[in-house]
Chains A and B, each alone.
Chain A
């Protein structure tokens, strides 16, 4: 802004004109150079300011005259000249230095010396000095290396150093340049030799030595000899304690990394240094980077596990222990006898209360390393662990004393009291559950007498030792007629609660409460009320969780825990902890749920509890591990859970547990172990009471077993096993079990090359699946259907693929992809036969399939796009490419596993802004070669590229795949992700977008109101800017962004833009909205279910500018509850959504560019592509994390 010429000068402006030192950063007080001209213009016109400036200039000139013009002679007070160097260098004590500086400031002899000393010590060099520095021999790397070698020779340094000195300065008959040249060559050569020698031997050896010298980790690192554990204080540790070997390793790593920054072995060593120094976050970051470069390295996986374990200890984060078990599980899956991984996993497992796994690992370890110091440590740990488990089992399994024993004639009262007190909670429980009813309603007078004696003893102990007078008070009022009925009802309530029948528990507690009230027994009323309230609270909590009310559910769960704890009931307390953990897990908070279950397990193992209490907590851990896809950890969890309950009489429970464990083994890639567990599950199911449910479970286990057998080549046995099951099928009413059976049978028959039989089986399975589809009414039901029925469709498609029929296989595949559009209303005439009839072997022909022509009829219209459709089939990956030039098929047998691994890794790399860009590009190329390369001849840049993903490919940011020419995929065609042809046919793309269209903009920058930690100011800016650019925008901001308002305004909007937070709850993304007032029953999240009731006929574009909005329960948007899919299935032709948690600031820019492109008249996919290009062109956001986060979905 221009300065008014008539304004008088202020102080800052006068300062500027009299040339005072300026603020370094040009702050407010300083005046910019160009403004000085304006000031002078004013002075020229203002006599008053001219006079002012003149006065200041005169005064400034006086001040300038203070400067000493030369050096005076020293006075008697002046210190020695050499002192000033010490002062300037800061080598004197502060007080003395200050005194001397004050002297120097007033002394025209000492001041200049101090000034000179300070100038000599200054780090800033003039250009001339820089030039001289650069010309010195010491600036050359070779010179430095040689000097370092000489200096490193240690004692007696002087003679060699002088020789070296002479080499440079005195030369011989050789000219100086020749000496220099030869010396440099020698220096470089010797330096290379030394470094090479060090590199080849040193880093690992030095680290191993450092570890052994001062072992501060329980876990082992590769190559390290045994060292006793040293307990150290964390923090405040003197760096002088660091062993020299560690310091040397650091230097060597630094030196080598400067030349090879991406060398995984060096990165691993760097991570190990961080581990040894307690920098666990840094260690994890570096080791992960190394693992991205070398994904299969056992050494890296083991170290990464150690880093997580140590961080778990340091930050009290038990989820880190789980990560550690998972990494070690991966290592051991590849190298089962890896001693270090076994040793480490045993320790980590013990820390996680996975004692069975720990014992198993110690035993395994000692078999492969029976001698030496490490094995001594292992043996000691194993012994202690076995004892611990044994003690716990004994204390839990020892039967409680009966009333008869307690009241017997030869009893030792003191000993009896001690025995009761060590398991007081259990005695109190049995007193309520058994002795109260028997004491007041047993027919046998002796039983009544003994029970009452036992009750009195427990009541006395409770009062005296636990300050719990409840039982005493209860028994004090036992003369009412209704008392005996009341205690029976209370006993039933507690028993029902223990067995998980919470509804019955609540009802019996209510009865007990009434009866105790009638009898005037206050203590009884309170206890009955507690049972009632406890159940109600927990049930209420579960109900609220189903409604999506996070806060209220948590509050109620916490209240239940508080009640149980304050009432002094450890078992109930433990159960409440388990239920609270359940609630947290149901809300997708794996970390909180995990921590809660872990704390519960700590209590469990520290006390005397029934095994079921522990089992329930382990199932919580399993849920958390499942959410985090930690399959190896799940295996360990189930081992422990099964060991706890394997002595239980409930065979069905044990069968189910083995079945879950088998599933865990299977998903962890351990089919042999899975087979064993399915076999055990099947045997237990057979031994359990035979109901239809048991039969279903048994058949499921057998089917899995058969599939596993077939996978490992025993297809004949598998077929025989399945064939034996056929007679049972006719007795079943569960279609899903039958679907699974027939589709598995089809697969196994295919493995046996029985193509016709296979065709009949899978068509039968598909027929049953289509029947089930008719009855589906909700997204949730369809998700279940898809999980069970997809195998049948995939097997059927594969049959056609194997027959080489590109079009028919694609017709079938697209038909399957469009199944959700048929749900609840489809009639497949050919499968109208009763399911029972279908299931009776030989009773009917397998259903015929409909005559599918959708692909064929669509092809002529596909003249501006080419579609790639992927199908992950039982024995490989099918890739179709189709457009108006026809359909082509590429069949890639056996690559599904490889594709899945690579896809997961590539997506993870892309979603991590810190990942190495070189590695991202390497994997992007490999993945391109696998899944696009085979059909790239059919792709042309003038056509849009439509991609129908499937399974593990669903999360891939296809735009970031790299062609052989180093071009990203989206540098040619624009890319759009499609649900499939059936969906696309229903979508109608409107006219070009314009700023005159009605738009609903929702901006929710914070979800926690007054807590700014989650604030997204960029999201708010983004929403405000967007609302401002559309004259007909309706802007719901902050608290206005309620579900009611969205339901109200969304139907009228052509564009819906959401900017804010998204969270995954039970694996489904939900957009977080504002609270809808005080009603805890009201939702505050927009998800698939909430959208069910919203009409979206006029909405043409939905932009979900939040984290991971394209993801569903699995990985990608094709998953049932992906928000992107839900919008498209409701007829919205264009959706823009994200693959992963996005960077808020970059997203704001992305959206600006996107709408700029959109309003210029280009297609949604093209606008997405151009916005990505803008982001990619900025060096700071060139990583795919920033520009490939958003994709276009629906139509192009």
Chain B
């Protein structure tokens, strides 16, 4: 005996049953609140009453026009309803602060757009020696990855590697992305496997350079 998310939404929309809404709140309130808390924080705000207001705004948005948004979505993508509700919560927060900022333009410190809330641009501006060095390294590792990954999942494995090392995503966050189809443990395994290969390749290359050029203390050595 269990009601699926799409059935619950249908029930909320069609019956206006407070018990259905209670179940809806029990199922999704944590996701809504957490999304609101995190997004509000991105706008530099931490006050609880703001979070509280925006959580309620989210519910209003969800149930507007007999839950039309939810119902339409649920009918097509019942499996991603929780994620959809989170995106609505996140967008409610962004809309709120954008609107707020537009009324207070010039008077507050709130950032304008989503890009503004991200970390400042990297220090290595395009064309600097650090940037060029990093670009070379990225290409080198890219070549190693191309060379050492095989099989039907090679593209996915390379994607995992880059998201982990270049973009700094956690194994769990990568596993949660659509289409990855791995558990966090699976992601960790893939990273471990590819890291070994890349590291080994790097060592071999460095050893080669060392034996030729005698640089950086790498000695010609045994096989690994």
Residues of A at the B interface (CB closer than 8 Å) are 11, 15, 18, 20-25, 29, 48, 51-52, 55-56, 58-60, 62-74, 81-82, 85-92, 94, 97-98, 101-102, 104-106, 108, 111-116, 118-125, 129, 132-133, 135-138, 144-145, 147-149, 151-155, 157-158, 161-162, 164-165, 168-169, 194-195, 198, 239-240, 242, 244, 247-248, 250-255, 270, 273-274, 277, 279, 282
Contact = CB atoms under 8 A, between A and B. Distances in A.
A240 B63 contact: no
A816 B120 CA distance: 98
Interface string B146-188: 0000000001000100110111110111001111000011001
A762 to B, nearest CB: 58
B92 interface: no
25 contacts: A23-B192, A51-B219, A63-B198, A66-B165, A67-B167, A69-B124, A71-B121, A81-B114, A82-B114, A91-B84, A91-B87, A105-B167, A118-B173, A120-B38, A121-B83, A121-B86, A133-B33, A138-B29, A151-B24, A168-B56, A195-B19, A250-B1, A250-B3, A254-B23, A255-B23
Nearest to B130: A69
B166 A247 contact: no
B29 to A, nearest CB: 5
B60 A169 contact: no
A113 B184 CA distance: 21
B87 A85 contact: yes
Given A81-B114, A244-B10, A111 B21 contact: no
Contact of A23 (B7, B83, B188): B188
Given A70-B123, A87-B178, A151 B83 contact: no
B35 A121 contact: yes
A133 B24 CA distance: 17
Contacts of B123: 69-70
- Which of A20, A56, A151, A277 has the most CB atoms of chain B within a 10 A radius of its CB? A151
Interface in B112-165: 113-115, 118-124, 134, 137-138, 141, 155, 159, 162-163, 165
Contacts of B177: 87-88, 90, 97, 101, 118
Contacts of A48: 222
Contact of A66 (B22, B23, B138, B178): B138
A59 B83 contact: no
Given A48-B222, A59-B200, A69-B122, 16 more contacts: A68-B167, A88-B176, A88-B177, A94-B178, A101-B159, A102-B159, A113-B118, A120-B39, A132-B37, A158-B60, A162-B60, A165-B56, A248-B17, A255-B22, A274-B1, A282-B1
B18 A148 contact: yes
B31 interface: yes
Contacts of A55: 203, 206-207, 218
A108 B55 CA distance: 32
- Which of A239, A273, A282 has the most CB atoms of chain B within a 10 A radius of its CB? A239
Interface string B1-38: 11110111011101111111111111001110111011
Closest A-B pairs by Cβ, 9 of them: A154-B16, A152-B18, A90-B178, A105-B162, A111-B167, A70-B122, A148-B21, A89-B83, A148-B22
A115 B63 CA distance: 30
Given A21-B191, A66-B166, A60 B122 contact: no
B164 to A, nearest CB: 8
- Which of B3, B8, B199 has the most CB atoms of chain A within a 10 A radius of its CB? B199
Contacts of B80: 89-91
B148 to A, nearest CB: 13
B99 interface: no
Nearest to A22: B188
A85 B95 CA distance: 14
A144 B29 contact: yes
A830 B196 CA distance: 99
Contacts of A52: 224
Nearest to A71: B118
B189 interface: yes
A118 B2 contact: no
A930 to B, nearest CB: 37
Interface in B193-224: 195-196, 198-200, 202-203, 206-207, 218-219, 221-222, 224
B1 A273 contact: yes
A108 to B, nearest CB: 6
A135 B123 CA distance: 39
A51 B219 CA distance: 9
A136 B178 contact: no
A240 B49 CA distance: 38
B48 A151 contact: no
Contacts of A151: 12, 18, 21, 24, 59, 63
A108 B122 contact: yes
B203 A56 contact: yes
Contacts of B77: 91
Contacts of B19: 148, 152, 195, 198, 248, 251-252, 255
Contact of A63 (B12, B23, B52, B141): B141
Nearest to A29: B192
B35 A250 contact: no
- Which of B87, B137, B188, B219 has the most CB atoms of chain A within a 10 A radius of its CB? B87
A781 to B, nearest CB: 54
B114 A165 contact: no
Given A124-B172, A198-B19, A59 B206 contact: yes
A151 B118 CA distance: 35
A105 B166 contact: yes
Contact of B167 (A58, A115, A135): A115
Given A63-B198, A119-B173, A240 B18 contact: no
Nearest to A241: B7
Nearest to B144: A63
Given A74-B115, A125-B34, A247-B8, A56 B199 contact: yes
B66 interface: yes
A133 B37 contact: yes
Contacts of A112: 118-119, 167
Given A91-B84, A129-B37, A137-B52, A154 B66 contact: yes
Nearest to B183: A24
Contacts of B162: 66, 105-106
Contacts of B10: 240, 244, 247
B49 A169 contact: yes
- Which of A22, A23, A118, A124 has the most CB atoms of chain B within a 10 A radius of its CB? A118
Contact of B199 (A59, A94, A106, A147): A59
Contacts of B18: 145, 148-149, 151-152, 194
A275 to B, nearest CB: 10
Contacts of B118: 71, 112-113, 116
B37 A277 contact: no
B45 interface: no
B3 A251 contact: yes
Nearest to A104: B167
Contact of B163 (A74, A104, A250): A104
B195 A20 contact: yes
A274 B2 CA distance: 10
Contacts of B191: 20-21
Given A105-B162, A152-B21, A157-B63, A70 B173 contact: no
A510 to B, nearest CB: 65
A94 B178 CA distance: 7
Nearest to A120: B38
B64 interface: yes
A22 B207 CA distance: 27
A251 to B, nearest CB: 5
A882 B64 CA distance: 79
Contacts of A133: 30, 33-34, 37
A149 B34 CA distance: 23
- Which of B30, B31, B138 has the most CB atoms of chain A within a 10 A radius of its CB? B30
A247 B176 contact: no
Contacts of B15: 244, 248
Contacts of A282: 1
